[in-house]
Amino acid sequence: MAHAVSTSAGAHGGHDAGQGGGHHGDHHDQESLKMFGFWLFLITDVILFGTLFATFVVLRFNTAAGPTPAELIELQGIIISTFILLTSSFTSGIAVLEMNKGNKRGLILWLAITALLGASFVYLEVTEFMHLVHEGAAIGTSAYWSAFFTLVGTHGLHVSLGLVWMIALMLQLSRRGITPVTKRKVNIISLYWHFLDVVWIFVFTIVYLMGVM
């Protein structure tokens, strides 16, 4: 393993199979590559949301004589869903702690709680959207509402995809337990989940708080 230690390169992700704990080392390297790749993906996702925020800010006064956000947005429901999402970020953190302790049952339990909180967040968002449409603010009403539904909806879509992914991961965990591969997957989804939380803070501030001001 002498020279393997000095490098991080190799066959696809794994340097020198065979020597010492080679096979295990392969997996380790490959998992860390994927982790790094996911960080880079998150950068691109930041740009994606950044662009959506920019269009929202450009169009924020363009309500074209239609309903304005101050008239329609009810902050109370939004505060509740904000707390739900923040709590789910916390519970996903606990799930990772359980995983590091090697407690498979605890890990799945806390992931399930996270997913439930995420699902209630999505449910609240869908009800909010239905309410807004009912009040006469749909995506085609004005530029403001186009930007609103696109930005908030893209975040909601991210959360929903995360839910499907989390459920798939719980199935894999129950089948395979905590391995280097499933461990990396849990780490990645928890990273993703925290990221969505951070994005939501900005949505909450820029779209909702500044919208009703």
Partner 1 sequence: MLDKIKEFASEFFVTGDPLILGAQVSIGLSLVAIIFVLTFFKKWRWLWTEWLTSVDHKKIGIMYIIASILMLFRGGVDALLMRVQLAAPELEFLHAEHYNQIFTTHGVIMILFMAMPLMFGLFNIVVPLQIGARDVAFPFLNSLSFWMFFFGAMLFNVSFIIGGSPDAGWLAYPPLSELSGSPGLGQDFYIWGIQISGIGSLATGINFVVTILKMRAPGMKLMQMPMFVWSVLSSCVTIMFAFPILTVTLFLLFLDRYLGAHFFTLDGGGNPMMYINLIWMWGHPEVYIVILPAFGIFSEIVSTFSKKKLFGYKSMVFALMSISFFSFFTWAHHFFTMGSGANVNAFFALTTMLIAIPTGVKVFNWLFTMYRGRIKFTTPMMWTVAFIPCFVVGGMTGVLLSVAPADFQFHNSYFLIAHFHQVLIGGVVFGYFAGLYYWWPKMFGFRLHEGLGKWAFWFWNIGFYVCFMPQYALGLMGMTRRVNTYDFDMGWQPLNVISTVGAFLMGAAFIFQVWQIAHSIKFYKKEKDGDAWDGRTLEWSIPSPAPLYNFARLPQVTSQDDWWEEKQRIAAGEPAKPLAPLEPIHMPKNSGIPFIMSVCWFTAGFGFVWDWLWMAIPGLIGVAVCMLARSFSYDTDYYIPVDEIERTEAALRGTK
CB atoms within 10 A of CB 178: 17
Choose between 14 and 118: whose C-beta lies nearer to partner 1: 14
Q: Interface residues for partner 1 in 124-163 (CB under 8 A)?
A: 139-144, 146-147, 149-150
**Distance, CA of 29 to CA of 42 (rounded, Å):** 20
In this chain, which of 1, 21, 62, 75 binds partner 1, going by CB under 8 A? 62
Distance between CA atoms of 159 and 81, rounded to whole angstroms?
13
Supply angle C-alpha 104, 108, 112, rounded to 5: 170
Residue 23 and residue 46: Cα distance in Å, rounded? 35
State the Cα–Cα distance between residues 97 and 110, nearest whole angstrom.
Answer: 10
* Residue 84 or 163 having the CB closest to partner 1: 163
Binding mask 169-208 for partner 1 (x = CB under 8 A): x-xx---x----x---x-----------------------
Contact footprint for partner 1 (CB under 8 A): 3, 6-19, 22, 26, 33-34, 36-37, 40-41, 43-45, 47-48, 51-52, 55, 58-59, 62-64, 139-144, 146-147, 149-150, 164-165, 168-169, 171-172, 176, 181, 185
